[in-house]
A = this chain, B = another copy of it.
């Protein structure tokens, strides 16, 4: 359950960062001293992670008040105040680093997703994530992709069928692999198959794959493939997409562009927590 996962991710992150306790604050700051701080955008970007920040401070000290001016998925500009926290100085300091680590990372993902979506410049193509996520943060990162305007691919190996080159080798061919999947797959799942040339496209079509993934094709071959498929299956394009001309790819008529870099090569968005 999402809620429960969030709580566990955060409690272990706090345990990791705080350990037995914040020695410096305990030594230097009176336990009753109150403080306020703001979250300040130091770049333009798309915010993600607001409910994470709230849960961080709730776990540190349920008397801390957290209030956000913006919503997840909203664009902010450099200098904008995103939200504020109020509570004992010790509690604010205890939660600060973990809250920021999440907020900066998730907003970084949302910002990158939105940027690539803008580049594709075509509302009908979906910018989609992959399983190339940070271990143990997938549920949050996939949500950040949605906040940036992207769409999610399968969450894990148990909730989608994607037949790749190694499965094809193992099964003895594209057609055979598709047949095996069709025979016993849960009837709730579509069958997607990865191909890297036009022969593959044709075989996938012949065996009625539901989705065809064009892996690492150049623009010309991709265009040919889309023409062959002609609406008889969904088309996904993949392979270092962050470095390619997404607008051109979108124009060809691909339905889905999936990009590992949305989640595995992310620059943190620069956000600071400043005490008043």
Stretch of A28-36, A71-79, A224-232 with 4 or more beta carbons under 8 angstroms from chain B: A28-36
Query: Is A268's beta carbon under 8 Å from chain B?
Result: yes
Query: Is A163's beta carbon under 8 Å from chain B?
Result: yes
CB-defined contacts of A51 to chain B, threshold 8 Å: none
CB pair A135–B13 under 8 Å, yes or no, is: yes
What is the total number of copies of this protein in its complex? 6
- In the complex, how many angstroms separate the beta carbon of A12 from the nearest chain B beta carbon? 5
A1, A23, A234, A267, most chain B CB atoms within 10 A: A1
Stretch of A184-192, A200-208, A244-252 with 4 or more beta carbons under 8 angstroms from chain B: A184-192
CB pair B151–A184 under 8 Å, yes or no, is: yes
Q: What CA separation (Å) do A177 and B261 show in the bound complex?
A: 33
CB-defined contacts of A98 to chain B, threshold 8 Å: 135
CB pair B190–A187 under 8 Å, yes or no, is: yes
Q: Given A15-B4, A30-B170, A158-B21 in contact, is the A264-B268 Cβ separation under 8 Å? A: yes
Query: Is A122's beta carbon under 8 Å from chain B?
Result: no
Q: Given A1-B19, A4-B14, A28-B170 in contact, is the A126-B160 Cβ separation under 8 Å? A: no
CB-defined contacts of A180 to chain B, threshold 8 Å: 27-28
Per-position binary interface string of chain A over residues 62-92, scored 1 when its CB falls under 8 Å from any chain B CB and 0 otherwise? 0000000000000000000000000001000
CB pair B155–A20 under 8 Å, yes or no, is: yes
CB pair A1–B27 under 8 Å, yes or no, is: no
CB-defined contacts of A46 to chain B, threshold 8 Å: none
A-B residue pairs in contact (CB < 8 Å), sample of 13: A10-B135, A16-B136, A19-B159, A23-B158, A23-B185, A24-B157, A89-B170, A93-B166, A98-B135, A134-B137, A154-B188, A158-B159, A187-B190
Known contacts A18-B157, A27-B180, A188-B192, then 10 further A-B pairs from the complex at CB < 8 Å, ordered by chain A residue:
A9-B135, A9-B136, A13-B136, A25-B157, A28-B167, A89-B166, A101-B134, A135-B137, A153-B188, A165-B275
- 3 residue pairs, one from A and one from B, having the closest CB atoms: A159-B159, A19-B158, A160-B188
